[in-house]
Chains A and B, each alone.
Chain A
Amino acid sequence: GDSVTQMEGPVTLSEEAFLTINCTYTATGYPSLFWYVQYPGEGLQLLLKATKADDKGSNKGFEATYRKETTSFHLEKGSVQVSDSAVYFCALSGRGNTPLVFGKGTRLSVIA
């Protein structure tokens, strides 16, 4: 079945460092891909999405490119801030009414 694998955390970075969180997927067909962010004590927020190969999703300085050839959707940000500390989930769309398939999440801590 469909699956998402993302890098194990936690990831600790200094403010203004470059961020990469790796995400790869296995799926039949052409799923849409998503990154969600969860701040402490809150639900998940949709951060960005991409619907087809070579699409780049971007939001709040974060970017991810849908790479079909490597089945990847890595999340990047050029300069992280303390406020970016959160858990990040990579996900792909299920078929029909099936739920999103999530990775296990990567905890990011940014220190000043």
Chain B
Amino acid sequence: GAVVSQHPSRVICKSGTSVKIECRSLDFQATTMFWYRQFPKKSLMLMATSNEGSKATYEQGVEKDKFLINHASLTLSTLTVTSAHPEDSSFYICSARGSLGVGEQYFGPGTRLTVT
């Protein structure tokens, strides 16, 4: 149980275009979803927290107009990187937490974004 999927797994886009990444909880309802960014050989950097039906809460230094997060249902959250630039190239990982459990988060497999 507690499976989280992410799509796409890899994406290459041209500078200036927008890219949408989907995160789905497949077998549980995710009351809260989290988006992370990870640089090579580095720890996770939390970008934002989103609760279903509410606006996302962004971490300091993360541009909310550049990284649009939508959590429209209890099983789906999307991250849209708008007007992507090469410095946005990274590994993006989502995670989800249900209403049960003891606070654990379940992670998607990640999306490798490359902006050329």
* A97 with B43, Cβ < 8 A, contacts A34-B104, A43-B110, A44-B93 known: no
Do most interface residues of chain B lie in helix, strand or loop, or is the interface mixed?
strand
Q: In the complex the two chains form, what is the Cα distance from A45 to B93 in whole Å? A: 12
Stretch at the interface among B44-52, B62-70, B75-83: B44-52
A97 engages B6 (CB within 8 Å): no
Looking across the interface, which residue of chain B has its beta carbon closest to that of A44? Answer: B107
Residues of A within 8 A of B (CB-CB), count: 24
Q: Which 3 A-B pairs have the closest CB atoms?
A: A93-B103, A43-B107, A44-B107
B104 engages A97 (CB within 8 Å): no
Binding site for A on B (CB under 8 A): 2, 4, 6, 31-32, 34, 41, 43-44, 46, 49, 51, 93, 95, 97, 102-110, 112
Is there a chain B Cβ closer than 8 Å to A49's Cβ? yes
Given known contacts A43-B95, A93-B103, what 6 new A-B pairs fall within 8 Å (CB)? A31-B103, A89-B44, A93-B104, A97-B32, A98-B49, A103-B43
